[in-house]
């Protein structure tokens, strides 16, 4: 049951990501990325991390993607002819040639390296599964990582002010 769910979510994530980079309409790219985030949230639930799954939907799919959507609508981003997924298409200008080849090499290396590991199973004891409780995450976040937490809040403030200043229309 878990295995079937994993394969379904993995297939949705990969196909949606290929759709994001492979098709021309930018609005559709944004929506496909939201689908990919939803599939990843499903995978987080399979990994017994419900808090991360819900945070993924709230922050990524619910806030960051709305930002992208607004910018795409504001700039009226034109439809772009996607690079045809053929050998002739990808071996275009030099940068793309090198880039496409490097990405494929990266994918092959990672997949080959990881499949050389024997199947490493997750531990099934209740203690390991209990890491996901929200109170435990909150505990660790506010005690061991309190400095990083506070620094992140300043980071967000700076980013917010910076974004408003950079995107402001010059008068």
Partner 1 sequence: MVPLNYYLILSGILFSIGTAGVFLRRNLITVLLSVEIMLNAVNLSFVAIGRYLGSVDGQIITFFVMTVAAAEAAVGLALVIALFRHRETLSPDAYTSLKW
Partner 2 sequence: MSALIPSPTIIAHLALIFVVFNMLVMSAAFMVWLERKVCAWIQDRHGPNRVGFEGLLQPFADVFKLMMKEDLRPKAADAALFAIAPIISCITAFAAFSVVPFGTETTLFGLLDEPIPLQVTDVNVAVLVIFAIASMGVYGIVLAGWASNSKYSLLGGLRSAAQMISYELSYGMALAAVIMLAGSLSLREIVLNQSGYWFGVIPKWYVFLQPIGFFIFMTAGVAETNRAPFDFPEAEQELVAGYHTEYSSMSFALFFLAEYVNMVTVSAVATSLYLGGWLGPFLPDWLQWIYFLIKVFLILFFYVWMRWTLPRYRYDQLMEFGWKWLLPVSVVNLLATVVLVLWIG
* Placement of tokens 């002010």 in the chain: 161
Position 169 contacts partner 1 (CB under 8 A) = yes
Q: What string of H, E and C letters represents the secondary structure of 103-134?
A: HHHHHHHHHHHHHCCCCCCCCCCHHHHHHHCH
N-term to C-term CA, the chain? 60
Position 131 contacts partner 2 (CB under 8 A) = no
Is 62:37 a contact under the CB 8 Å cutoff? no
Residues listed for the chain: 171
Q: Which stretch binds partner 2 (CB under 8 A): 57-65, 113-121, 123-131, 150-158?
A: 57-65
Q: Which stretch binds partner 2 (CB under 8 A): 65-73, 96-104, 108-116, 148-156?
A: 65-73
Measured from the CB atom, is 63 or 128 closer to partner 2? 63
Q: From CA 163, how far away is CA 100, in angstroms rounded? A: 32
Q: Least distance in Å: CB of 70 to partner 1?
A: 9
Task: Single out the residue of 10, 15, 51, 83 in contact with partner 2 (rule: CB under 8 A).
Answer: 51
Q: Which x/- pattern over 86-115 shows residues binding partner 1 (rule: CB under 8 A)?
A: ----x----xx-xxx-xxx-xx--xx--xx
Closest CA to 25 of 14, 37, 13, 33: 33
Position 43 contacts partner 2 (CB under 8 A) = no
Position 71 contacts partner 2 (CB under 8 A) = no
111 binds, among partner 2, partner 1, none (CB under 5 to 8 A by kind): partner 1
């Amino acid at each position: 049951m878990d295995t079937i769910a994993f394969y379904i979510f993995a297939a949705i994530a990969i196909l949606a990501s290929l759709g994001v980079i492979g098709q021309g309409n930018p609005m559709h790219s944004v929506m496909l990325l939201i689908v990919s985030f939803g599939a990843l949230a499903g995978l987080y639930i399979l990994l017994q991390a419900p808090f991360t799954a819900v945070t993924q939907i709230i922050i990524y799919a619910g806030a960051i993607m709305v930002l992208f959507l607004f910018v795409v609508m504001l700039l009226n981003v034109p439809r772009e002819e996607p690079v045809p997924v053929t050998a002739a298409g990808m071996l275009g200008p030099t940068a793309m040639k090198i880039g496409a080849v490097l990405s494929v090499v990266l994918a092959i290396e990672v997949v080959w390296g990881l499949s050389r590991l024997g199947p490493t199973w997750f531990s099934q004891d209740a203690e390991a599964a209990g890491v996901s409780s929200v109170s435990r995450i909150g505990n660790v976040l506010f005690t061991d990582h309190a400095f990083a937490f506070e620094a992140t809040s300043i980071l967000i403030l700076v980013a917010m002010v910076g974004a408003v200043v950079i995107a402001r229309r010059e008068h």
